[in-house]
Structure 1
Amino acid sequence: MSVPKVFEPCKLVFGLLYRRHDDKTHVLSALTELFGPLDAVTQPQNFTFTRFYDKEMGSGLLRVFGSFDELVDPERLAEIKHRTNLLEQSWAQDGRRTINVDPGLLSEERLVLATGKNAAHRIPLRNGIYGDLSLLYRHGAYRPLPWTYPDYAQDDTRRFFGLLRGLLMARRSGRPPRPPQSFKEMPL
């Protein structure tokens, strides 16, 4: 018989899609009000992996990834997704989103993204939100799965999450982290 244990806190991470620099600045500010200070944000990269968002958000989208300093209880993921959905709605213009925020939880073993869309590999969490197992940590790196979104499967993105894993482990152990020379607005 397995004995339930308290879940280890995880690193709250996000992917942000946007078009205008001002939107990014304002959304990052709003996210810090909701979830505390950021400890890492990547440089913007052109989002060319799909045209799925073009009809709603327009073309020329940019993607950044980032994370928050404070660790969170993984049981909060559904609540966090609902809060980021409200943020997206508050920025919408004429019923169309101008930003897309994908929250997720990074642990030493995996990356789980929150979504409102069901699929065979997604686990129901709470209140219509599913956990999407997106990356597994194996053989010294986060590895994509057959369904992993292409931008999350990129080598540079997975290396960034590997750096965040180091911050997570340092935070859990109480030892000071060793970030690269510049973690804010770091390149992918």
Structure 2
Amino acid sequence: MGQIKKTELVNLVIFVFSSYIEYRFTEVKPVLEKEFGSIDYTSRTLDFDKYTYFYNDEMGHKLQGKLVSFKRLIHPSQLAEIKLRTNEIEKDFAIEGKRKINLDPGYIHHTQFVLASTKHWANRIYIGRGINAEVTLMFLNGAFRPLEYTYPNYKDQEYIEELTKIRELYLKKRKEYYR
């Protein structure tokens, strides 16, 4: 029988995307920090529009995003509650029922990048409260590796480079925490 081990804390990451990302991010950043603590890393602006038109009717065109890391580590079991809270924040920023900002939470562990989703699919595990989790990238042989079902933006080297920077930051925080 395997021995139960203490669960390691992980690094909360939220992908924030919108049209007019600089303006929208300035608006939502204080709300995110009030809810989840101080931000310790914000990626450069990443193109999102080239991957899908799914959000254009609701959110507009020329969608761009930023990957945001939070200083405080979280327990992975908090992911469902965090996704519910980010959905509420999206509604708070909606105009006439249409989202103007999208907040996709997940976390980085030294072995993986995990995303939360309200949508069930064969590759997602139900984690409670109507929320599923998906291993989006695995860290193997010194690099993040996408899987067959990984969203196209997270397969892009530009996104992987930013997530790798956050992973390196996480490893430093993890080392301090478990010292």
Letter in 2 for 1:83: R
How many Å apart are 1:34 and its aligned residue? 0.6
Q: Deviations over 1:13-55 (max 9, x none)?
A: 0111111232111111211111111111112133211001011
1:38 alignment partner in structure 2 = 39
Matches within 5 A, 1:54-73: 54-73=56-75
Distance 1:91 1:66 in 2: 18
Report what 2:175 is aligned to: 173
8 Å Cα contact 1:44/1:62 also seen in 2: yes
Q: In 1, are the aligned partners of 2:94 and 2:100 still within 8 Å (CA)?
A: yes
CA distance, structure 2, for counterparts of residue 44 and residue 109 of structure 1: 25
The alignment of Structure 1 onto Structure 2 pairs a total of residues equal to: 175
Which TM-score applies when normalising by structure 2? 0.94
Higher mean displacement: 22-31 or 124-133 = 22-31
Q: Report if aligned partners of 2:107, 2:113 keep a CA contact under 8 Å in 1.
A: yes
Residue equivalent to 2:8:
8
Q: Is the 8 A contact 2:136 2:150 kept in 1?
A: yes
Query: Unaligned regions of 5+ residues in structure 1, if any?
Result: 176-188
Structure-2 residue corresponding to 1:163:
165
CA distance, structure 1, for counterparts of residue 17 and residue 130 of structure 2: 22
Greater CA drift, 123-132 or 146-155: 146-155
Secondary structure at the counterpart of residue 40 of structure 1: strand
**Structure 1 segments (4+ residues) deviating >6 Å:** none
- Residue in 1 that maps onto 2:99: 97
Do 1:141 and 1:159's aligned partners in 2 also have CA atoms closer than 8 Å? no
Greater mean deviation of Cα atoms: 101-110 or 149-158: 149-158
The whole-number CA distance in structure 2 between the counterparts of 1:148 and 1:95 is: 29
Match of 1:185 in 2: none
**Structure 1 stretch displaced more, 154-163 or 127-136:** 154-163
CA distance in 2, matches of 1:151, 1:41: 17
| Unaligned 5+ runs, structure 2 | none
What secondary structure does 1:174 align onto? helix
Task: Name the amino acid aligned to 1:127.
Answer: R
RMSD: 1.2
